Every structure is written in C-alpha cells, then in structure tokens.
Amino acid sequence: MAFSTFLTRSALCGILTVTIAACGNGTVAETASAQKPAENLAEQSIAAADVKDVGAPSQVWGRVEAAPINYKIETVADDIDHPWSLAFLPEGGMLLSERGGLLKHITDDGEVSVVKDFATIDDAPVHTKDRAQAGLFDIALHPDFADNRQVFISYAAKVDKGLNTLVVRRFTYSKDGTLDAGQQIFAAKPPRKESHHYGGRIIFPGDGTLMIPHGEAYNKREQAQTLDNHFGKILRVNLDGSIPQDNPFIGKKDALPEIWSYGHRNPQGIILGADGKVYENEHGAKGGDEINVIEPGVNYGWPAVTHGIDYSGAAISPFKTLPGMRQSLVHFVPSIAPAGMVQYSGDAFPELQGDLLLPALALKHVRHVEMKADGSLGEQREMFGELDSRFRDVEISPDGYIYLLIEERNGPNGKVVRAVPN
Ligand SMILES: [Ca+2]
C-alpha cells in the first residue's frame, strides 16, 4: 500500500503562505510571550576572562515562534510502540527500533515486519521497563555499510543480579533481511539497577571510532565528575571495541580509558557536524537542557554547574559557571527535553540547509536551530507543534524528507510520519 496522505493545519498554512503561528494552534499560541534572542543572553555578568576554560556564556532560549516553512505530513507507519531510532538502508526501506526491544523493517511502501526481538539475545537480552527509559535504542549503519553490511545497535541489557547496563553490539544485516547473532563491543561500567538516563544514541565521529554517550542513571549524578566510571560520560571506542590510543585519559590513574568527555547528565542527541565538530544535546533537570560542542578531555559541568534546578524546585548547584568546566552553547528554559538531533542536509527544504533539528518530548515540537557557517547558533523556531506529539527522533531521508518518530507516552500507539514539501 502507498503512504496515506493528509493535509495538516501547517500544510493549509503553507497554501495560504502564512506561518503556523497564525493558524490558531493552542500550543504555538503560547509563543506570544517568546523572547527575542538579544534579550536572552544569559550570564552577562560573568566575565569570561575571570574563569578558565568555560567558553563563551551560554545563551538561554525559551518558547519561540513557529517556523514558516511549507510542508505536508504523510503517515509512514502506525501502531509503532515507542519508536526510538530510524536508519535508511541504501537498497531502500529502513530499520526502526522500538524501545520495547523489537528491531523492525519498514519498506518504502510502509509495510512493517520484525527483524529481531532483542529479548532473544542469549548473552545480553534487552532490559525493558514500562514507563521508564530502558530498552532498545539507536541504530547506526557502518560508514561502509553498503559494502560490509555492518550495523551497530545500542540498548539496555540485562546483567546478573537484577542489574542492567548500556551496551553496543555489532551485527551484520544481510540483504535478505536477517540480522546475525552479533558481538558485543561495549558495556558501560559499572552496571546499574536504575532504568533511567542511559543516553543511548551512538555516532561515528569520522575518525574510525564510535562515540557512545552514556547518562548518569539519574541517581548517580555525582559520579559524572569522577573518571573511575562511565556515568555521565561520552565514551569513544574503536569499532571492534578496543581503546583508541589517543583517548584523553589513557594512562591517567583511576580513569577509565574509554572516556572522551565528562560532566554530562543525560545526552540525547549527538552528531558529527558538517564543520567536523561533534555537537551534543542533553537533558538538564528543570530548565537546564543544553547544546554543547564536544571536545576530548573536557568537563561539561554536571552536576557542579547547571542552569537548571531540580524537579522539586530545589537547587542542584549554586554555580552556573566554575573554572575548568565548559559552558554549553545554549540552554533551554523551560526545558524542551530534546531526544535526538540532526543537521539538515537535503534538497527538499533548502531553507533548513545546515541547520539543527531537535525533536522535543516535553514541549512537543521539533526545535529548528539556525547554524551559521562558523558553527555559531542563531535564531530558533518551533516546528510541527500542531501535531501535539512527543517527538523521539528526527531523521532525514536520502531525498531530504524529514522523518519524525512520535511516541505515545504510556501506550503503544506511536507512529512514523514524514514531512514533505507542500
Ligand atoms: Ca553542562
């Protein structure tokens, strides 16, 4: 069957050549109070010269206007239980992960089939927990996938004694649609009992390695500041799981050699930018979500430095900056809960070229962040707010269409939709 197509409010707006915000959407209407960026520069009282290695002051962004681009939304697949990640196959079709543990295949015509149930992996079955964050996470096709058919998949795996941990496993995905038994190349240390804050996304940073952000398990935030564990770290390993000899803490006493950067809370989006830098976003607590540029050996501050407060309203730290702890590029107040990130590249929406798109869970939109040629971040807009959905992931297809993974918070009725030019 072909993709079903329906016009959304935004598509109608497109026909009328007006912005989504002018169409009376309740969520976007709240942006009437959006502040302009010039009024939003945070921490102007902090002189960068007074502190070491903090970078420029972090910009704060609140609710913003809707992006005035023209598109229509098409449903790709529905009845998807907590979709988490999507990867486009060179032969057409795509692989999709469901947090509940199923890896699925979707044809270009929208037919869905199960490739593998990760509960059946004998030596490391998937750990899932209703209404928590554990399960099957990211799918990353090897940069030479078309030749070697290797795919890397991250997930929470069961470990002895009721514990679990983030693992990455390397598989071969055959052209006949089967996945081999695979081989585990990474397991975060030590394992945990918690089912929150895994990070979970993985990328190839372009140097023959794999980068693996790992969250601080919610309850282990102090450990994000010590190097003898993997909580609140971005890890970097070779594709066979061995340690790259240029990792920054090799040979340092009491430091794990996989660590690339530290002081992270719950990294969610990570990309290799077109400028060759690694950009990451992470959940703060209340009001502390961040976008960072990731560099080796750098301390990104959590929980000693944060722009957020705890969900209870309690302070987490009195410090928004400290010597030796890098400031984010931007932070979000209120938190948008970014769940991924892409840098747009494609022909379908030339007005988005080179910009960042962040799917947001809590504030139910996709945040469009302008990225300038020098890597600095400019204006922001909200997209797809009229869908009133929790966006788990956003991916760009080879033809430049914007694929959106939408989840139902406590139910199985998620879906994959795509935005195409109107
Ligand atoms: Ca930080």
Q: Facing residues of 233 across strands?
A: 214, 262
Ligand 1 centroid distance, CA of 306 (Å): 6
Number of H helices, E strands in the chain: 3, 25
Domain of 42: which CATH number? 2.120.10.30
- Residue of 200, 253, 197 lying closest to 228 (CA atoms): 253
Q: Find out whether 69 and 349 touch, Cβ atoms under 8 Å.
A: yes
State the pLDDT at residue 19.
28
Ligand 1 centroid distance, CA of 393 (Å): 22
Convert 214-270 into a string of H (helix), E (strand) and C (coil): ECCCCCCHHHHHCCCCCCCEEEEEECCCCCCCCCCCCCCCCCCCCEEEECCCEEEEE
Confirm whether 66 is domain-assigned.
Answer: yes
State the pLDDT at residue 227.
98
Domain count, the chain: 1
Mind listing the pLDDT tens digit for each residue in 258-289?
999 999 999 999 999 999 999 999 999 999 99
Ligand 1 centroid distance, CA of 231 (Å): 14
Ligand 1 centroid distance, CA of 328 (Å): 6
CA distance linking residue 103 with residue 85, whole number of Å:
10
Confirm whether 280 is domain-assigned.
Answer: yes
Average pLDDT (135-156) is: 98
Confirm whether 395 is domain-assigned.
Answer: no
Confirm whether 402 is domain-assigned.
Answer: no
Domain that holds residue 36: 4-390+408-421
Average pLDDT (119-128) is: 97
Ligand 1 centroid distance, CA of 297 (Å): 14
Confirm whether 53 is domain-assigned.
Answer: yes
Q: Find out whether 95 and 151 touch, Cβ atoms under 8 Å.
A: yes
Distance of CA 325 to the CA centre of its chain: 22
Tokens 């660590």 belong to residue: 259
DSSP letters spanning 314-354: --S-S-S--TTBPPPSEEESS---B---EE--SSS-GGGTT
State the pLDDT at residue 208.
97
Confirm whether 400 is domain-assigned.
Answer: no
Q: Find out whether 106 and 92 touch, Cβ atoms under 8 Å.
A: no
CA angle (220 as vertex; 215, 221 as ends), nearest 5: 70
Q: How confident is the model at residue 14 (pLDDT cuts 50, 70, 90)?
A: very low
Quote the mean pLDDT of the chain.
88
Confirm whether 396 is domain-assigned.
Answer: no
State the pLDDT at residue 66.
85
The question of whether 365 is a catalytic residue gets the answer no
Confirm whether 398 is domain-assigned.
Answer: no
Of the residues 82, 197, 230, 283, only one is catalytic, namely 197
Tell me the backbone φ, ψ of residue 13, rounded to 5 degrees. Answer: -60, -40
